[in-house]
Amino acid sequence: EDSELLKDEL
């Protein structure tokens, strides 16, 4: 999911 992909970013 999008948000999982973005979660490792700050």
Partner 1 sequence: MNVFRLAGDMTHLISVLVLLLKIHTIKSCAGVSLKTQELYALVFSTRYLDIFTDFTSLYNTVMKLIFLGSSFSIVWYMRHHKLVQRSYDKDHDTFRHQFLVLPCLILALLIHEQFTFKEVMWTFSIYLEAVAILPQLVLLQRTRNIDNLTGQYVFFLGAYRSLYILNWIYRYFTEPHYVHWISTTSMFCVVLFCFGFTIFKWYLISVLLLTLSAWMSGFVQTLLYADFFYYYINSWKNNVKLTLQA
> Where do contacts with partner 1 occur on this chain (CB under 8 A)?
1-10
| Distance of closest approach, residue 4 Cβ to partner 1, in angstroms | 8
The 8-class DSSP code of residue 8 comes to T
């999008």: which residue's tokens? 2
CB of 3 to partner 1, least distance (A): 5
Min separation Cβ 6 and partner 1, Å: 6
Helix, strand, or coil here: 1? coil
**CA 7, CA 1: separation in Å to the nearest integer?**
10
